[in-house]
Amino acid sequence: MSILAVFPGQGSQKIGMGADIYEKFACAREVFHEVDDAISYKLSDLIFNGNEEELKQTQNAQPAIMTVSMAFVQVLKLEFGIDISDKASFFAGHSLGEYSALCATGVISLSDTARILRIRGTAMSEACPNEGAMAAIIGLNISAVESITKKINADNAVVQIGNDNSPRQIIVSGHKSAVEQAMALAQEAGAKRTIKLEVSGPFHSVLMEKAIEPLKDVLESVEFKNPIKPIITNVTAKAENNNLKSLLIEQLTSRVRWTETILFAKDNGVTKCVEIGPGRVLTGLIKQITNDIETVNVNSAESLSL
């Protein structure tokens, strides 16, 4: 059996996530405390005792979700003898989850991953603070959504596909007015639903260009080691071992090719997918993409046996 380990992206955060393993396992507490020290901020207090509005701020949500994911990775390894880097054949993550995947495969240290995501989150939220939006288009295929975005782009308004999440769910990203036009055109074209997302910017669009320099600066200061296992990256939807820094920079303005990522894994023999971290968004998407991959969630103390 070939396993794909996947790590969730922004939107999976929740107050209290990881609290059960924090209380039960010393190695989980060490992960939270290391991140607090790395970013000089009591992120663990926010995660366990804060409010949802503050936690969902991009500069908080990104390192917080990664922290919880990595706490589960450590508990699996040190308490249950399950080293996911040995068990899995491939790793992948949705947007910020790609950083969790890189951390889990030994490419980036936990402290460096936390620092990068704190800076990345801040840069992304500040890149286009009041002009951008994202929306989910439910029930139209990607070519139909692509046609809609091209039609609007012809009118000098920026909107593009930000996430190809599944055949049923495409996310568009861009200027608010252009996203609203795309939603209206999608409904006219027969979309089942269009949903405006509560995000702080038009992520994975060209409007994220101002976030490139801050991210590039911090990535250049961090040592990247060779991954233990290949990473199926958001940008290429193929297994990669090299050029990971440049792909992370490109990821800011490029679509998350999640459907293609899962199909690549399936075509390369993956029969089981383990989502490690809060929520179960990715396993839900995977079930929409293929029936040929078994899905498992590691998101609570009770779920900690693979």
User: Which residues are catalytic, by number?
Assistant: 95, 204
Query: In sequence order, which residues have a C-beta less than 8 Å from that of residue 292 and are 6 or more positions away?
Result: 266, 271
Q: Cα dist. 1→4, 120, 271 in Å?
A: 10, 35, 6
Which is it for strands 2-7 and 270-276: parallel, antiparallel or unpaired?
Answer: parallel
Place of tokens 């139909």: 144
The C-alpha angle with vertex 301 and arms to 23 and 289, in degrees rounded to 5, equals: 140
What's the CA gap between 184 and 258, in Å, rounded? 24
Q: Which long-range contacts (CB under 8 A, 24 or more apart) does 46-52 make?
A: 47/15, 47/16, 47/17, 47/18, 47/19, 48/15, 48/16, 48/19, 48/22, 49/15, 50/15, 51/15, 52/14, 52/15
What's the CA gap between 61 and 203, in Å, rounded? 14
Structure tokens at 118: 């704190």
